[in-house]
Amino acid sequence: MRYLWAPWRMEYILEKRKKGCIFCKKPMEKKDEENLILFQSHHAFVIMNKYPYNNGHLMVVPRRHCTDLNQLGEEEFQALSYLLKASIQILTKKSSSPGTHVGMNIGKVGGLEKNTSIFTLFLDGQGTLILCRC
Ligand SMILES: [Zn+2]
């Protein structure tokens, strides 16, 4: 097993957990730049991970809190897919990385504290898979 050393995440690891779901609250606060939200549409948004494991760590999130992909409607899933594709295109164009890792966190088992479903992306600088705890 390989370990990833990301000491800048200690602030996140040690901080007191805030109540509520950041993926529901942040898009409503109308502070996109401060909240690291890059884009919002009616059904989904793209947000940078404040405590990334790696460069280019983005999350593509449905606007409606869903604990399971089956809860998403067709338009919501299409919005997620579109923003995922656009995010990959932008990361590829704006970096020298040879690739992008894409994963999906579904519920607490998927590594999320808030029991929701999101796509996660990050650049591949070395060809190594980096596990993500958003
Ligand atoms: Zn939520």
Q: What is the pLDDT of residue 130?
A: 38
CA of 67 to the centre of ligand 1 (A): 9
Assign 63 to helix, strand or coil. Answer: coil
124: confidence class by pLDDT, cuts 50, 70, 90? low
| Domain 19-123 -> CATH class | alpha beta
CA of 117 to the centre of ligand 1 (A): 9
Domain boundaries, the chain: 19-123
pLDDT, one tens digit per residue, over 15-46 is 887 788 888 999 999 999 999 999 999 999 99
CA of 98 to the centre of ligand 1 (A): 32
Q: What is the pLDDT of residue 131?
A: 38
CA of 132 to the centre of ligand 1 (A): 18
**Residue-averaged pLDDT of the chain:** 80
Name the β-bridge partners of 60. 46, 119
Give CA–CA dist 106/114, Å, rounded: 10
CA of 103 to the centre of ligand 1 (A): 18
Give CA–CA dist 27/105, Å, rounded: 19
Q: What is the pLDDT of residue 112?
A: 61
Which position has the higher pLDDT, 119 or 124? Answer: 119
pLDDT, one tens digit per residue, over 70-99 is 889 999 999 999 999 999 888 888 887 778
CA of 81 to the centre of ligand 1 (A): 19
How much of the chain, in percent, has pLDDT values that exceed 70? 80
Q: What is the pLDDT of residue 77?
A: 92
Rounded to whole angstroms, what are the CA distances from 73 to 43, 65, 115, 120, 125? 10, 12, 18, 20, 35
CA of 32 to the centre of ligand 1 (A): 16
Q: How far apart are the first and last CA of the chain?
A: 20
Q: What is the pLDDT of residue 118?
A: 74
> Which of 91, 87, 101 lies closest to 132, judged by CA?
101
